Chains A and B, each alone.
Chain A
Amino acid sequence: AQKVTQAQTEISVVEKEDVTLDCVYETRDTTYYLFWYKQPPSGELVFLIRRNSFDEQNEISGRYSWNFQKSTSSFNFTITASQVVDSAVYFCALSERGAAGNKLTFGGGTRVLVKP
């Protein structure tokens, strides 16, 4: 069965520091998608990024970047030069091709606190 693990439950940084969130996943499917979502204090989940299992190219989008490594089943996410508005809970999620209905399996989340 698929599984997503976010070992860091909470990270506290000072504004302008970089913060990296770890995500490790388990799947037997060869085709799958990985996602990062942000949950601000207001509660809704905001989609940030998506990666498919065939594309290991790492990218940067503004202050966000991600590092996808199939060899270690990891999909880490970095916020560069953090800001107070980045304070939120961040979830990593997995969707397998074999899963009916585009179902997502979520990790437990990492709470990020950015202090001014």
Chain B
Amino acid sequence: DGGITQSPKYLFRKEGQNVTLSCEQNLNHDAMYWYRQDPGQGLRLIYYSQIVNDFQKGDIAEGYSVSREKKESFPLTVTSAQKNPTAFYLCASSPQPAQGQPQHFGDGTRLSIL
């Protein structure tokens, strides 16, 4: 079945460590997104990519980095510069950047600090 796969489901980070969250989609979607969700709050956009080898910062990009070397993959790295990384991270994709297309979401990765 087509969908978005995020891994791992749970991730623990030590102080000063970079960690990478994986997001893979087999929906043949052009656009991909990373969101952060804090407890009891809505989703905030970290980065998005409309096409391979191109990506843009969202509202809370500081302390994060991404790459888009393949259409199917959009990994997110949480760097040591992100001082409060504990959150639920959701990856999404949409068929094209065209306005109004609903985004499809993965199951999320829950990141905690050791």
Q: Tell me whether chain A's interface is mostly helix, strand or loop, or mixed.
A: mixed
The interface stretch among B15-23, B42-50, B61-69, B70-78 is B42-50
Tell me whether B103 and A104 are in contact (CB under 8 A). Answer: yes
Tell me the chain B residues, 92-107 only, with Cβ under 8 Å from chain A: 92, 94, 96-107
Known pairs A35-B102, A102-B100; A107 contacts B108 (CB<8 A): no
Chain B residue numbers with a CB within 8 Å of A95 are 99-100
Known pairs A9-B40, A44-B107, A47-B104; A102 contacts B45 (CB<8 A): no
Tell me whether B42 and A106 are in contact (CB under 8 A). Answer: yes
Chain A residue numbers with a CB within 8 Å of B92 are 45
Question: What 1/0 flags go to B13-46 for Cβ under 8 Å of A?
Answer: 0000000000000000001010000001111110
Nearest Cβ in chain B — how far from A90, in angstroms?
Answer: 11
Tell me whether B56 and A102 are in contact (CB under 8 A). Answer: no
Taking beta carbons and an 8 Å cutoff, which residues of B are in contact with A? 31, 33, 40-45, 48, 50, 56, 58, 88, 90, 92, 94, 96-108, 110
Question: Could you show 26 A-B contacts with beta carbons less than 8 Å apart?
Answer: A4-B42, A9-B40, A31-B99, A33-B100, A35-B102, A43-B107, A44-B105, A44-B107, A45-B43, A45-B92, A50-B100, A50-B102, A95-B100, A101-B31, A101-B33, A101-B48, A101-B50, A102-B94, A102-B97, A102-B98, A103-B48, A104-B43, A104-B103, A106-B44, A107-B42, A108-B41
Taking beta carbons and an 8 Å cutoff, which residues of A are in contact with B? 4, 9, 31, 33, 35, 37, 42-47, 50, 52, 91, 95-97, 100-104, 106-109
